[in-house]
Amino acid sequence: MQIVKRAALAAVLALAAPMAFAQTITLDGISNMRRSLLSPIYAGNEVKGYVTFARGDKADRKNDNYLLDLYDQDLKKMSSITMQKPSGRYILLKNTFNGSAFAFYFFNSKDETLEIETYDTSLQKLGTKVIGELTKGDLRVLQMQTRAADPAAGGFMMGLNLFPVPGLGFVRNGYTGGMAKGYTLGIYDNKLGLHWRIASNENAKEYESLTLTEAADKYLLGVMLRRDGLLSRKATSYMVALDAKTGKKLLDLPVETKTTEQLSLSSFTFDADKREFVAVGEYYKLDDKPFVNKSQGFYVKRFSEAGKPVSTKNYGWQNEVAALMPAEAKASLEDNYVNYNQAILKGANGHMFVVAEQFKIVGDGLGIAANILNGGHTNASVSKGKVGNLLIFELDQDAKLANVKFYPKTVTNAELPAGTGFMGAGLLGQIMKMQGDFDYQFIQKNDDNTKFNVVYVNFDKEKGEAAKTYVGNIAFGDNGKYTVDKIEIPAGPTASYLYPAKPGYVLIADYLKKKKTLDMRLVKVNN
């Protein structure tokens, strides 16, 4: 099976026979399967079940069957329904769960409309919404999105999305203007009643794109990208916080609060205990260029709920970090890798954990050659990404760096869209994240925030042996211990995917196209 890291590629898996698993179930008649068609259901931090949505055998000459099944955390089927839709018209853009309702978001390519269907946890339909009169900006973005192998996987800097908000409903985004100059956001309740809608200022000179990243406390958090024009080679990132109930913009700030700062922003979250917004990224000398000059270290910057700077703490590679960094980790820092922060976690003991994955941007020989041969008139990218190792930085209650953990991985490559080589480190990391280029998969944590699991994939090759794929699982928490599982994965299925599961397990889903079967199994890991 060819292994491709796209759309979070959740990974290419089939566990070795000796591994014990709690339960296995096989679904028949699955004619098409993508990673985004199986979704975990959470109660708090823990997985309590799954919903699967897959295309089955045709209902008749004019209609397709879509199979919607609900399972508990042990893969026991709880309920099932079959949807029928006209053949060849519908593309699933998103399926998601907000804690009380499921939503399925379709593009009807024939009518050029969007359709949302919602269901409760027993799979009883709650509502249907047809959205017509799409803007030229919406249609332009849809053209790009629907060309992808998995339009629902979120692998786009720009895309139509349905964002789950616990207790409130789902936020739908859109684009204004023929060239997608601005954005719109609107929130629907579980029965698809519209509660508020906001949009970019029609008279704004800048191009704006707002991507929601997290629903935290009473806020919707996101990153705003602003450009001076359609062809501008400079995009600036802003931290944005909206009131989830009203849509009112409460925060819209660049992470740089001084003219003497040059910062890349890769994570933005909310600390509910301290009632502060938290930004994390890397800092540079004022005249340095990311990927040309090395970053000086990473920072943690805090803002009040009113957007006022509260504190800034820098952690220099040559100072605080070097004292705790394992010797084998220093080589990659010297090789101009930077860190993309995949997750920020806060333990019950007050410690903060920053989970980072290394990446860098290098020249792409084939892209450069294509541009030269075509006199510069080509869309080929002249740069590509390289994905490196995993690091975990542990900060104590006083924000002092207490621990640095390093987990080596085989370097893998990532394709970048044309024109992205000029972008800053934080923005490029976001693009690679949305494309599914990183090996990091997900975080699992328990409800009292005393235990965490970082799950990733790696592609390894020992001298004289064939390349192997394995799942890595890093378990850590308040006990101060870090343990690692390394589970080898033989090839076999047409495609295989990795998902969060109940505490102490991960879920593997293996799809066999010729047999039209999907095998799901729970596999025990260290916790």
Per-residue pLDDT of the chain (527 residues; tens, 9 = 90+): 223 332 322 332 233 333 434 488 998 888 778 888 899 999 889 999 999 988 877 889 899 898 899 999 999 999 999 999 999 899 999 999 999 999 999 999 999 999 999 999 889 999 999 999 899 999 999 988 888 778 877 655 678 999 999 999 999 999 998 888 999 999 999 999 999 999 998 888 899 989 999 999 999 999 998 888 877 767 788 999 999 999 999 999 999 988 888 988 888 999 999 999 999 999 999 888 776 778 899 999 999 999 999 999 999 998 899 999 888 888 887 888 889 999 999 999 999 999 999 999 886 544 433 333 444 444 445 578 999 999 999 999 999 999 999 999 999 998 887 766 666 777 788 888 888 899 999 999 999 999 999 999 998 766 666 778 888 999 999 888 999 998 887 677 888 889 999 998 999 888 999 999 989 999 888 87
Residue 486's nearest CA partner among 499, 470, 504 is 470
Q: What tokens were used for 412?
A: 């893998």
Listed as own residue / partner, the contacts of 446-450 with beta carbons closer than 8 Å and 24 or more positions apart are: 446/45, 446/46, 446/503, 447/44, 447/45, 447/46, 448/348, 449/45, 449/345, 449/346, 449/347, 449/348, 450/347, 450/348, 450/349, 450/477, 450/478, 450/479
The Cα 190–Cα 126 span in angstroms is: 7
The first and second tokens of residue 384, run together, are 């590509």
- CA-to-CA distance for 90 and 142, rounded, in angstroms? 13
9-42 b/e (C-beta count within 10 Å ≥ 16 → b):
bbbbbbbeeeeebbeebebeebeebbbbbbbbbb
Q: How far apart are CA 72 and CA 74, in angstroms?
A: 5
Q: Where are the extended beta strands (E) located within 156-193?
A: 162-165, 169-176, 182-188
Q: What angle do CA 450, 355, 344 make, to 5 degrees?
A: 65
Residue 447 CB neighbour total at 10 angstroms: 11
Residue 255 C-beta-side C-alpha neighbours within 13 Å:
29
DSSP-derived letter for residue 153 is: G
* Residue in 91, 103, 180, 106 with CA at minimum distance from that of residue 139: 180
CA pair distance 72, 170, nearest whole angstrom: 23
In Å, the largest CA–CA distance within the chain is 68
- The sign of the CA dihedral 298, 300, 306, 310 is negative
On whether the CB atoms of residues 54 and 66 are closer than 8 A, the answer is yes
In angstroms, the CA 235 to CA 463 distance is 43
| 140: enclosing H helix or E strand | helix 136-145
Under a CB-based contact definition with an 8 Å cutoff, are residues 355 and 392 in contact? yes
pTM for this prediction:
0.85
Contact residues for 21 (Cβ-Cβ < 8 A; gap 6+): 15, 521, 522, 523, 524
Tell me, rounded to whole angstroms, the distance of Cα 258 from its chain centroid.
30
Given a contact cutoff of 8 angstroms between Cβ atoms, the answer to whether 388 and 359 are in contact is yes
